[in-house]
Amino acid sequence: MTRLLSSLLLATATSLVAADKLHLKRDENTGSITVHREASPEAILTQVAGPATRPYLHPIVAPDGKGDLTEFSPGHHKHQTGLYWGFTRVNKRDYFHNLQSDYWKRNYSKVLIASGQSVSWQTSYDLLGDQGQTVLTQTQTWTMTSSNHEHVLDLTWEGTGKSDVTIGKYKYGGLFLRMPWHRGKTKGEVVNSALQKNSQAEGKRAVWVDVGMDIEGRDDWGHITIFDHPENSDFPQPWRVDGQLGIGPCRAILGDWKIPKGQTETIRHRFLVHTGKLDPKALTKKWEAYGKRSYGDVTFITTPAKPVPLIDLNQARLEKIVEMDREHAFSLLFTQLVATDNPAIQKPLLNGILLGLDGQRNLTPPPNWFRLRASLLDQKDPQLTKLIDRLSQIFGDLSASQGALKLVLNGDASLEDRKEALSGLVAMRFQELPKNLNALLDSPLKVDAIRAYSLFNYPEAPKELISKYENFDTVGKRATIDTLASKLSYAKALLEALRTGKITKTEIPNYTARNLQKMLGGSFDKVYGKILEMGELSEISKNPVNPLPDGFTNARRIEVGVLAGLKFNTDRIEAKAGEKIVFVFSNDDSSGTMHNLAIITPGSRQAVLDAAIAMGAAGLKKNFVPEIPELLASTPQVAQGMKYTLYFAVPEEPGNYHFICTYPGHGLIMQGIFAVQ
């Protein structure tokens, strides 16, 4: 009783902390909803609600505005999208790993409370069966308050069976949170209400679980805590905690559960978004205030002893194989490899080991490795051999690396195999590779080889790259400039190439010029001169006021606007190779959405969009314009009623380039052909 009283007092005290005034904006074209503080244009949370894809929250910005606390589609789990809900088994159909239109259909997204100290919104989606029929309708109702030190989100999830629904037993599925974890870089920790940490919390019941980790742009940790409500079925639920600090309550760990046709299951959770040092006692008191129940009165029924297998040999998904303590996992995996002679089992096991060892090199192999390697190679299975060779390189096997180098240099081998072998040699920093890269500069592996130079201190690299520079295509030239700007010794050679005219000033992107200026100082300024912005922002009704860059006085002017529904007002622009163009991009979108216009190389749309998403917290500040060779020029994000005048030198190489909006989600639709003749 004393603990419950203290929690109620805490709730009263918390309510006295002044919450910020918030307001919601809904994009009529996409259905997405953003949360803003009063008088601020920057969103602190985005509800993505596309018409035919799984809904999710991302990004969720830290309460003080410093850093994104969620991540979209990371390399280790491409299907994970910030904070989302996706069951793994709904009548044996998987909505956790599948985001696409044949699984999800939006009924609506709408604003319930548009402004005030508390705002609210709702989304409704049908989960579709394999014949397109509605199996389950899920409705998510969100309420949010915020202050400078904490966001509080309340979720009510309702699932109505359109047929008899069985949520099948599985080790994860349902609500799930993905924060920005990166192997070998991120320090972080999962802690639950019983103070169990990381793998100790996997499969354990808890009333709350917190994830805290390093966040780009912060000196302290960002945290998201999830509360389980006492009225939820099987409370307190067991929790999924994966090896990359992804978490979610998972009732299906306990076994199958059902939603009969016509009935509705209601599940409630609260989310605290905060930063700094974790205070477990304070979190427990806040949970007591939320659940109106003393923590001491909670009964923790033991989770059934029979575990869900770590290795699901019927699912060859790499992310499902290694998700426990590394030493334990590898011991288990190598034991399984020794015990089986079935390639269908051996391949996912080897893939799991490679996933867990990603980025490492020159490791000591397990005692039985060489005998095991010989027996696996005896099977003469090409795919198995490839996996064994990759693992052998990680274990410092020189013969495996030399074999990979021979494959890279073999012009008759498949391009995919050669690319994969080159990537492995670069990852291993194989010291014989740099002197062989020159042989690849006239091959389909040209750009991969150019980029590989940047990861080695190879004195001959600048000479080899600059000697072939004039024969490279647009992407090859950009990749060369990026590589030469990656190290001081290389940058000095780039500066000399600028001085002698082998590389022209117009071929150096502004972001590279700024980096070179920092690296080389005054010597760069003497050769390059002043760094000029190749564009200017103004109101639509006003003309640019800054002087034109050299060569653009008589340049052709091309105007591009925006139509409703995430479309440019043209889908094709034609230009002559080498000509100068003045793009005037006007954002006259009636919806008020921000847009940009980027010129990219042929066939690079997906790579550019992936790079924009990967920018994470830095994306908004950098206008979602990634600094990669495939992106040739771009406007910044342009608000409604504004225009950007962009000065662009068309590449000398003909082809179908593209123009797109790189804002996340826009570029899938908002695009056109930039035909260079």
Q: The domain that contains 572 carries what CATH number?
A: 2.60.40.420
Alpha-helical (H) ranges within 501-554 are 510-520, 522-528
Rg (CA), the chain: 28
Same domain, 519 and 542: no
Same domain, 250 and 322: no
Same domain, 341 and 473: yes
Number of CB atoms found within 10 A of residue 201's CB: 24
Please report whether residue 306 resides in a domain: no
Q: What is the largest CA-CA distance in the chain?
A: 82
Q: Mean per-residue pLDDT for 10-20?
A: 47
- What's phi and psi for 198, nearest 5 deg? 50, -125
Please report whether residue 588 resides in a domain: yes
Write down which residue in 475, 497, 528 finishes a domain: 528
Sign of CA dihedral 498, 504, 507, 508: positive
For 201, half-sphere exposure in the C-beta direction (CA atoms, 13 angstrom radius) is 28
Please report whether residue 257 resides in a domain: yes
> Long-range contact list for 40-47, CB < 8 A, 24+ apart?
41/639, 42/620, 44/146, 44/151, 45/144, 45/151, 45/153, 47/109, 47/121, 47/123, 47/142
For 174, half-sphere exposure in the C-beta direction (CA atoms, 13 angstrom radius) is 29
Please report whether residue 311 resides in a domain: no
Please report whether residue 660 resides in a domain: yes
Same domain, 557 and 487: no
The CATH number of the domain where 101 resides is what?
A: 2.70.98
Q: Mean per-residue pLDDT for 517-523?
A: 89
Question: According to the model, what pLDDT value does residue 531 have?
Answer: 80
Question: What percent of the chain lies above the pLDDT cut of 70?
Answer: 92
Of 116-125, 308-317, 410-419, 585-594, where does mean pLDDT reach its minimum? 308-317
Token pair listed for 637:
């994000």
Same domain, 518 and 545: no
The per-residue pLDDT for range 221-275, each reduced to its tens digit, is: 999 999 999 999 999 999 999 989 999 999 999 999 999 999 999 999 999 999 9
pLDDT category, 313, cuts 50, 70, 90?
Answer: very low
285 contacts 225 by C-beta, under 8 angstroms: no
**Three-state secondary structure call for residue 431:** coil
Over 70: is that where the pLDDT of 158 sits? yes
Give 383's contacts (C-beta < 8 A, 6+ positions apart).
343, 347
- On average, the pLDDT of the chain sits at 86
**For residue 666, which of 537, 565, 558, 559 has the smallest C-alpha distance?**
565
588 contacts 640 by C-beta, under 8 angstroms: yes
Same domain, 334 and 293: no
**For residue 631, which of 664, 609, 653, 646 has the smallest C-alpha distance?**
609
For residues 636-658, b (16+ Cβ closer than 10 Å) or e, as one string? Answer: bbbebebbbbbbbbbbebeeebb
pLDDT category, 4, cuts 50, 70, 90?
Answer: very low
Q: How far apart are CA 618 and CA 622, in angstroms?
A: 6
Report how far apart, in Å, the C-alpha atoms of 20 and of each of 35, 119, 189, 474 are.
Answer: 12, 11, 29, 49
Question: According to the model, what pLDDT value does residue 18 have?
Answer: 57
- For residue 630, what are the domain limits? 535-676
Write down which residue in 511, 528, 545 finishes a domain: 528
Residue corresponding to tokens 């089992």 = 345
Same domain, 635 and 561: yes
Write down which residue in 241, 266, 297 finishes a domain: 297
Please report whether residue 309 resides in a domain: no
Over 70: is that where the pLDDT of 28 sits? yes
Same domain, 98 and 130: yes
Please report whether residue 41 resides in a domain: yes
Over 80: is that where the pLDDT of 16 sits? no
For residues 221-250, b (16+ Cβ closer than 10 Å) or e, as one string? Answer: bbbbbbbbbbebebbbbbbbbbbbbbbbbb
Same domain, 275 and 325: no
Same domain, 393 and 370: yes
Q: Is the peptide bond before 236 cis (omega within 30 degrees of 0)?
A: yes
